[in-house]
Amino acid sequence: MTAVEPPVGAPTLQLPEKPKPSLFMAGLWAVVIVFTVLCARRVGFSFAGIIEDLQRPNPVLDGLYNTRWGEMFSERSRRAFIETLQLAVMGTAAGVLVALPFALSTTRVGNPYPIPRVILRSISNVIRAIPDLLWAGLFVLGVGIGALPGLLALFFFSLAVMVKLTADTLDGIDMGPVEAAEAAGASHAQMLRTAVVPQILPAFSSYALYDFELNLRASAVLGLVGAGGIGNRLDFFRNRGQWDKLWGLVFMFFLVVMIVEWVSVRIRRKLV
């Protein structure tokens, strides 16, 4: 591409001063790059290492080629699967039930008292900072192994997910009906039920389905710390090196999750 030549005798043009790139963005990029390098070193990241590892003979991959599809139908695995499903359903139900009042109590429209509101919001933040498997570990330590700690863990995990999403939606509602309810002489509870809840119900239902999907995935691994579900079986197979059976279980799990998601997506479209 040839540059455009100025006509002979024309004065050279002065471009306006180029605006300086935002200091903030420049600083941010610097921080990001430094951070990334530090992290990479901390983790021992190396391409060569990865390739090398992949080329070595590999029980996991062997197990993949010989996947025991029959594992899906073994008695114990089936029961573990059902337990996984049940925990997901119950955990979601319990979490969703408590999440609505909890979320309301962390917002201005639901809770006119600032101090309790801040306290509840902080509790909600702490709950959100604890991963699902950690909750499970805690409950296993506290109440022993089995399905109960799994249920409790999923309950708190659901709270974490639902309260934040619902509170954010609540912050964006139309206050008009709220004023109308107050002007009609409604009590606080009545106002919430008639002017607020109907506004967020579609979004809330959508979040509940999303929560169920997450819980299904989570309940599959809770067994790794002894909290029920197929996680137990996964750990069992892993310890014995039975990768073929493990893959069988994993694929079955895949299938269930994909089906649930397919159904859930369709339902959520109709809800909103």
Partner 1 sequence: MIRFEQATVTYPGGVTAMREVDLEIGDGEFVVIVGLSGAGKSTLIRAINGLVPLTSGKLDVNGYDVPSLSRKGRRALRAEVGMIFQGFNLVDRTTVLNNVLMGRLHTTPTWRTLIAKYRDDDIQIAARALDRVGILDRAYVRASNLSGGQRQRVGIARALAQEPNIILADEPVASLDPPTSHVVMKYLQQICRELGITTIVNLHFLDLATQYADRIIGLRDGRLVFDGPGSDADEQTFRDIYGRSLTADDTMHKQAAL
Partner 2 sequence: MSATDTRPETRLELPSKARDTLRTILSTVFVVLLGWSLITVEIKWSRLIEAPADMYRLFKVMFGDLPWDRTGEMAGLMWDSIAMAWIGTLIAAVFAIPMSFLAAENLVGRPIAWVTRQIFNILRAVPEVILALLFIPVFGLSPMAGVLAIGVGSIGSLGKLFYEIIENIQREPIEAADAVGASGVQRMRWGVLPQVAPELTSFLLYRFEINIRASSVLGIVGAGGIGGSLADAIRFKEYGQAGLALIVVIVGTIAVDTISGAVRRRIVAGPKGLAIPDEADIIVPMV
Sites of contact with partner 1 (CB under 8 A): 174, 176-177, 179-187, 189-190, 193-195, 198-199, 201-202
Host H or E run for residue 31: helix 23-43
What are the tokens at 267? 């339902």
Closest CA to 120 of 130, 132, 108: 108
Q: What is the 3-state secondary structure (H, E, C) of 73-116?
A: HCHHHHHHHHHHHHHHHHHHHHHHHHHHHHHHHCCCCCCCCHHH
User: Which of partner 1, partner 2, none has residue 20 at its interface (CB below 5 to 8 Å by kind)?
Assistant: none
User: Which of partner 2, partner 1, none has residue 193 at its interface (CB below 5 to 8 Å by kind)?
Assistant: partner 1
CB of 21 to partner 2, least distance (A): 13
Closest CA to 105 of 206, 209, 182, 192: 192
CB of 179 to partner 1, least distance (A): 6
Spatial contact of 59 and 237, defined as CB atoms under 8 Å apart: no
Which residue, 6 or 50, is less far from partner 2 as judged by CB? 50
User: Which of partner 1, partner 2, none has residue 270 at its interface (CB below 5 to 8 Å by kind)?
Assistant: partner 2
User: Which of partner 1, partner 2, none has residue 268 at its interface (CB below 5 to 8 Å by kind)?
Assistant: partner 2
User: Which of partner 2, partner 1, none has residue 54 at its interface (CB below 5 to 8 Å by kind)?
Assistant: partner 2
For 268, half-sphere exposure in the C-beta direction (CA atoms, 13 angstrom radius) is 17
Which residue, 38 or 180, is less far from partner 1 as judged by CB? 180
Which residue, 6 or 144, is less far from partner 2 as judged by CB? 144
CB of 248 to partner 2, least distance (A): 13
